[in-house]
A and B are shown apart, each in its own frame.
Chain A
Amino acid sequence: MVKVVVIRRVKPLPLGSVLIPAASIIIGILLSALILYVLAGTSPVLLFINVGRGFVSIETLRDFLMLTMLGAALVIAFSGAVWNIGEEGQITFGMIGAGYIALFTALSASPAAAKVAMIVLALILGGIWGLLAGALKAYVGIDEVASTLIMNYIAYYFLDYLVRGPWMGKHTYGYIRTDLIPATTQFTPIPVPGATITYEDIVLTVIVLAFSFFLLWKTALGVRIKVLGSNPDALRAAGVNVPMLITIALGISGALAGIVGAAQLAGYLHRISYPIESHTANLGYTAILVAWLAMLDLRAIPIAAYIIGSLDQAGRLLQTAGLGGIAVTNLFIGTTLLTFTVLRVFSEYSIRIIR
């Protein structure tokens, strides 16, 4: 019988941590160009021009900020080998929290209080959504990859229910959507033409990134999360409550993702519309790529977020230029992640066949 086995290399390939991300982006874009050329006849030259424009477009900034926050949130969970695939759901619950404050409470009368309350409730609801999956993993043994993924859909359809039912707007001209959130609760755009970011987005990104650095580098909790990713058995013998640690790691990751839900609603969308899957713009999944390209190093998160954000924007530019739809973005991301995964496997493992 023929068996294929994968063996860890005694020595990993040198310079892997720099070369692999760089090579995967370049090969990923080239692969996308090839696929588009073969299947759709898209001119590679036009494609590369638009990819280049994506990297210098001011609209990229929004994706850059959101992906930085989401990427940092993932690094926290991933450092502990807790695979949070549920940022989509956590963003959604963050948005529900922020939307509730903005649409249905009297707080909207005082802008500062309203915005803070929106962010806090978003953080709490996103955190609870993460915490739940964490507790399921830690105490019941349910794999978090599956549970967080499934919980994304629960969150989508819960918001769907809200928007179709109790939250349906009064002035929507037949659209299925909420009313606009009051102007007082909307974030303040920066006065640059074409920009889609707000002052609050920038502040939040700085806070989330700083918090993540602080947590992972300066606190006992952070050190234990890192050890969790490397050797949970040692933590147990050291007297650390490992199930609790897993739950907290996923909870914090979810809370930070929840903040992005508030930022998306208050800074960009201003209302929630049906179909609700579009409100997250798949950012929660895209961020997984950001975290991996950064090799789970927080310092590299902004760089990876910028690169992926630019590819995202390039997809939109291609759509405007009539060269394809949002699918092109997914193509970029898919080919890059695929290349990255393959390259990583070859850098750390060799494959043998036994007959």
Chain B
Amino acid sequence: MAIKPQTPSGVVPASETVLMVRGVTKRFPGVVALDKVNFDLLRGEVHALLGENGAGKSTLVKILYGIYSPDEGEIYVNGRKVTISSPSDALRNGLALVSQSPQLIDRLTVAENIILGLGKYGLISRVGMVKDFIIKASEDVGIKVDPDVEVWKLSYTQKQLVEILRAIILGAKVLMLDEAITFLPIREKRRFYKFLRKFADAGGSVILITHKIKEALDVADRITVLRLGKVVGTVKKEEVTIDDVRRMMFAERASQITYQRLPPSQPREEIALEVEKLWVKGDHGVFAVKGVNLKLRAGEVLGIAGIVGNGQKELVQAIMGLRKCVRGRIRIYGRDVTNVPTAKIRELGVGYIPDLPIRYGLSPDNNIEENIAMLPVIAKGIISWGRVRRLARELIEEFKIVTPSTKTPIKLLSGGNLMKVLVSRELMIATKLLIAYNPTRALDEATAILVRRIIKEKARSEGVAVLAVSEDLDEIFQISDTIAVMNSGRIVGVFPGDKADRDEVEKLMVM
């Protein structure tokens, strides 16, 4: 593995270096988030920033965007030392950040959102100009956005596109994407990557934070890996293999990463979940689930493959009692739970990892202990905080959740660590059945595989039945005893996990 040595502090950079970070250190109570970090960004490059959850990637770009200020260290833009103490400072220096959650104002139109604040940066703004730009750019990317539509009517993908367009119109020379395209459907993600390439070829630079190493190797020119707040190294894409990068990210844990099929579990006779001719409506009053039949045995892992938006979300919500079943029946361990309150379903020992995990799974203003104690299956009446704290510490330990303490509001944790809090908690309470929607998204590879192993282990040794919805076929093939493909609200194919053919599954997904 070839790791390019870091430019030592104080050396004058090549003229093509647009951004130079020297010796940046940031401490949070109890954690050193960044430890003397050096980082260079060249003109025209897509530079991926990789690292396990909590390695300090987000902290670094938040410092560059003026959300945090560094305790030590210097930042140079085009060779000039700058102080970035607010997002406006960052934008003045051509640095723009797009994060996971869109920061747009819902009741304004797309064009109005983009115009917002343009004047402040010395740009002449005419609604017409902005509209032309939006239309042209959205044609380029292949994701349609009408500049006159109000933002609340947009899909998540469209909102993220608008965020990126706004950054470009604001004159950003450096686009920082903090897991900004992580939650996008695979096909749209590919279009975005092409678009980023074009932006870089035109002289822009991109810092791309992702936890998908393969994607980073596909789109990035160079990769910088962070671990525990330190830079492990910066490498050129051509010089490394995926295994090299994994070793840089996870050190000895890299050897645990595998996409081999995990040893199958032995499904028992008992039927854990039975879905019978289920019809469920989506948000817009149209049927999203159309007559789905499923049978899941205790100890079995059933993977539902499908492109986002084919009724999977509505299916799991209906099973959890969070969405009305219009027709059909749902039984859990023989008990009819059709249109039964969620509380009753949870009492049966059901864990749930929802879509929109932060919104439906966690309370960001509260700390880990409170996020555990809020579950009725954990705490009733008077809370034994000692016990809750022990549980919290166990989860932190097992999943390596990076947090200053069990009393820190979880909104201060990184995205991956938030997801770990949710996933670990639900795995803990799933004693009979686990309903999981994309259980490992936003998790780094090593943690994702740990979660899959635990899911499989729970199925094998405790007889927990698992319904896992995912559009990540690696995941589906790794954990499933049975694979079902969902398309347009219907189950269009069911295969035994060991005999399923990947191409066939993929074909059914996009059919």
Which of A219-227, A259-267, A277-285 is found at the contact surface with chain B?
A: A219-227
Top 4 closest A-B pairs, CB basis? A239-B346, A230-B365, A220-B379, A239-B343
A214 to chain B, nearest CB (A): 8
Q: Which of B117, B346, B360 contacts A352 (CB 8 A)?
A: B117
B486 to chain A, nearest CB (A): 21
17 contacts between A and B (CB under 8 A): A3-B112, A10-B67, A11-B67, A219-B381, A220-B373, A220-B381, A226-B365, A229-B365, A231-B359, A234-B362, A234-B374, A236-B322, A238-B374, A238-B376, A239-B377, A241-B343, A355-B119
Alpha-carbon distance A93/B364, docked complex (angstroms) = 38
Inter-subunit contact B359/A233 (CB<8 Å): yes
Inter-subunit contact A227/B347 (CB<8 Å): no
Inter-subunit contact B363/A219 (CB<8 Å): no
Inter-subunit contact A227/B366 (CB<8 Å): yes
Inter-subunit contact B108/A234 (CB<8 Å): no
Alpha-carbon distance A70/B359, docked complex (angstroms) = 33
Inter-subunit contact B359/A223 (CB<8 Å): no
Inter-subunit contact B347/A239 (CB<8 Å): yes
Q: Which of B87, B108, B119, B354 contacts A237 (CB 8 A)?
A: B354
Q: What secondary structure prevails in chain B residues at the interface with A?
A: loop
Q: Tell me if B352 counts as interface (CB < 8 A to partner A).
A: yes
Alpha-carbon distance A224/B370, docked complex (angstroms) = 8
A224 to chain B: closest residue by CB: B374
Residues in A with CB closer than 8 Å to B354 are 237
B37 to chain A, nearest CB (A): 21
**11 more A-B contacts (CB under 8 A) besides A10-B86, A234-B359, A234-B360?**
A3-B112, A220-B373, A220-B374, A226-B366, A227-B366, A227-B370, A227-B371, A237-B342, A238-B342, A239-B376, A352-B116
Inter-subunit contact B320/A237 (CB<8 Å): yes
Residues in B with CB closer than 8 Å to A219 are 381-383
User: Count of chain B residues with Cβ under 8 Å from any Cβ of A?
Assistant: 42
Residues in B with CB closer than 8 Å to A269 are none
Alpha-carbon distance A231/B116, docked complex (angstroms) = 29
Residues in A with CB closer than 8 Å to B385 are 218
Residues in B with CB closer than 8 Å to A10 are 67, 86-87
Residues in B with CB closer than 8 Å to A11 are 67, 86
Taken residue by residue from 290 to 310, chain A's Cβ proximity to chain B (1 for < 8 Å, 0 otherwise) reads as 000000000000000000000
Inter-subunit contact A223/B365 (CB<8 Å): no
Q: Tell me if A106 counts as interface (CB < 8 A to partner B).
A: no
Residues in B with CB closer than 8 Å to A223 are 366, 370, 373-374, 379, 383
Residues in A with CB closer than 8 Å to B380 are 220
B411 to chain A: closest residue by CB: A230
Query: Which of A10, A234, A354 has the most CB atoms of chain B within a 10 A radius of its CB?
Result: A234
Alpha-carbon distance A224/B382, docked complex (angstroms) = 12
B178 to chain A, nearest CB (A): 13
B125 to chain A: closest residue by CB: A355
Inter-subunit contact B364/A231 (CB<8 Å): yes
B74 to chain A, nearest CB (A): 21
